[in-house]
Amino acid sequence: MHEKRYQVFISSTFEDLRAERRAVQDIIISTGDFPIQMENFPAADEDQFEFIKSLIDQCDYYFLIIAGRYGSVAPDGLSYTHKEFRYAIQKDVPVLVMVHSDPGSLRADQTERTPEAQDLLQKFIEEAETGRLRRSWKTADELKLCVREALDHAKATKPRTGWVRGNSVASADTLEELNNVRKEIEQYRATFGHPEVGLSLPKLPETHEILNIDLIPGMVTNSLGTRRGSPARIKTTWIRAFSSFFFGLKFSRGDWDGDFFFSIDERESCIKIGSALAGELMNEDTDGLFEITLVTFEKLRSYYSESGLMNAEGPNPFTPLAEKVARRYQISGQSNGDIGLASGELKISRVSRSDFDDEIPF
């Protein structure tokens, strides 16, 4: 429910996979998450391993990257990469395994030279891929794609604690807790029938009840110059806002070994939805010039989930009913009778170079 950021541990042998580790680090950063790796401590030893364990304890996901090297061996006969992997399993951190698909194409200095080390590597691979999904890669670009898909899938199917901005927690947590309670009650009733005394949940607001939505100004530079929106508050209903939410939601679809899922871009969705709502009250191009807050986004999402218009998981965030509702409002709901300005002023202003000079004191 929150715009979470996750800590992701990158585990592999070091010297032979420098470029690949950088590639994985870059893709994790591009998703807004935090890569955790030991680039500054390439020499492995037992003292360092104790520190590594404390880092794994704090991580949400663990990426294991295997190519042609088993790695430095600790006194107990296992490589430090192998020990990290086993520790992540012990701590129930979701492990995502990436194995090189063509070890024969690796340079000599990227492979183990002794039969003993090669045997240890093969046994490690077999252990790592037993009972869990793995992806194969050959180039750094292929590895980046595999990591992105695996991370999206893990977030959708194995949600973790992560990090979230403090100013967005309270309202979103309240809605999430209510939704979780509702699901638990439905599950209890399905198993034991309707109890004599049930927990009374708040009712979903009626479709005609007024909802105030704050719009935050945005700024766009294009062939028309630089334009900026204005802060304002609009009044509408949650069902009237659904058409803008439906057509403004930005999401991508992915699959992990045939398991299809969706991933929502909350930041881009807030901009698209806010611009669409403003556009219903203005005869101008509002794209990118207004946005709603993340708290408002989560509130609307909760309305639509509770009313059966949105899915919690699967290949599509919207149900078939939602598509019908959105089309109906797009066809017949364009009159402004149930959406209007509550306070402020909806306007678009052009920004000149002098405006920037005034704002930047250097």
* Res 142: pLDDT: 93
Q: Are 106 and 54 in contact (CB under 8 A)?
A: no
- For the chain, what is the domain count? 3
- pTM to 2 decimal places: 0.51
Spatial distance between the Cα atoms of 219 and 77, rounded to a whole number of angstroms? 59
221: which strand partners? 226
175 is in which domain, residue-wise? 165-202
Residues 119 and 63 in one domain: yes
Residues 244 and 146 in one domain: no
Residues 194 and 316 in one domain: no
CA atoms within 13 A on the CB side of 190: 6
Residues 138 and 178 in one domain: no
Q: Are 120 and 80 in contact (CB under 8 A)?
A: no
Answer yes or no: is 91 within a domain: yes
Q: Which two tokens stand for residue 43?
A: 């020499």
Residues 252 and 297 in one domain: yes
Note the Cα 361 to chain centre separation in Å: 36
Alpha-helix residue ranges (DSSP H) falling in the chain:
18-30, 46-58, 80-90, 115-129, 140-157, 169-192, 242-248, 266-279, 294-306, 320-332, 353-359
* Res 276: pLDDT: 93
Residues 118 and 226 in one domain: no
* Res 332: pLDDT: 63
* Res 256: pLDDT: 73
Beta strand 34-36 with 7-11: parallel, antiparallel or unpaired?
A: parallel
- CA–CA distances in Å: residue 224 to residues 220, 221, 228, 350: 9, 7, 12, 9
Residues 183 and 145 in one domain: no
- DSSP assignment of 102-138, as one string? -GGGS-GGGS--SHHHHHHHHHHHHHHHTTS-EEEES
Spatial distance between the Cα atoms of 296 and 61, rounded to a whole number of angstroms? 29
* Res 12: pLDDT: 93
For Cα atoms 56, 62, 64, give the angle at the middle one, nearest 5 degrees.
120
Residue 76 sits in a domain whose CATH number is 3.40.50.10140
Residues 61 and 108 in one domain: yes
Residues 192 and 227 in one domain: no
Other beta carbons within 10 Å of 249? 22
Q: Are 301 and 310 in contact (CB under 8 A)?
A: yes
* Res 84: pLDDT: 93
pLDDT less than 70: residues of the chain? 1-3, 39-47, 164-201, 224, 257, 331-337, 353-362
Answer yes or no: is 2 within a domain: no
Residues 215 and 343 in one domain: yes
230 CB contacts (<8 Å, ≥6 apart)? 217, 344, 345, 346, 347, 348, 349
Answer yes or no: is 1 within a domain: no
Examine the fold and report which residue of 202, 226, 256 is the final residue of a domain before the chain moves on: 202
Residues 146 and 242 in one domain: no
Residues 181 and 116 in one domain: no
- CA–CA distances in Å: residue 99 to residues 52, 90, 102, 142: 22, 21, 9, 11
